[in-house]
Amino acid sequence: MTRALLRIEGAALLAAAVAFYAVSGANWWLFAILLLAPDLSMLAYAGGPRIGAYIYNACHSTVGALALLAGGYVAGAAAPVSLGLIWLAHIGMDRALGYGLKETSAFRDTHLGRIGRD
């Protein structure tokens, strides 16, 4: 039940971010190009599961995305707002698909459970 609720919450975050992005009038090409950009943080796993998890989680936490979004909004700067919304959309998409924050034990161990086939 908890995992299902967290996945629904992720889908809601994705839907809200996409809706606000649409209203913002920002470029959809930018959205398409950058939607998967946070996944580049997986490259940090080359340094081991502990370093990889820390970097991956930093790039998949809503705190940074919300700070970027809020800062851009307060400053009246469209680019940070767009980037924050894209980042939140990515996080929501990941959560909706069952990809959670990583545990330091292994890439496949997440706060939403183990991903992939055993």
- State the chain's mean pLDDT as an integer: 91
Confidence bin at 118 (pLDDT 50/70/90): low
- For residues 52 and 107, the answer to whether their CB atoms sit within 8 Å is yes
Instruction: Give, in degrees to the nearest 5, the angle at Cα 12 between 7 and 14.
Output: 95
- As beta bridge partners, residue 102 has 110
Separation of alpha carbons 23 and 63, rounded Å? 22
Separation of alpha carbons 85 and 13, rounded Å? 10
Handedness of CA 66, 69, 72, 75 (dihedral sign): negative
- Percent of the chain, pLDDT > 70? 92
Residue 98's pLDDT is: 85
- For residues 92 and 14, the answer to whether their CB atoms sit within 8 Å is yes
Residue 99's pLDDT is: 86
pLDDT tens for residues 22-38?
999 999 999 999 999 99
What's the pTM value of the predicted model, to 2 decimals?
A: 0.90
Select the more confidently predicted residue: 68 or 6. 68
* Among candidate residues 70, 95, 81, 76, the one with its CA nearest the CA of residue 15: 95
pLDDT tens for residues 60-88?
999 999 999 999 999 999 999 999 999 99
Separation of alpha carbons 25 and 61, rounded Å? 25
Select the more confidently predicted residue: 4 or 62. 62
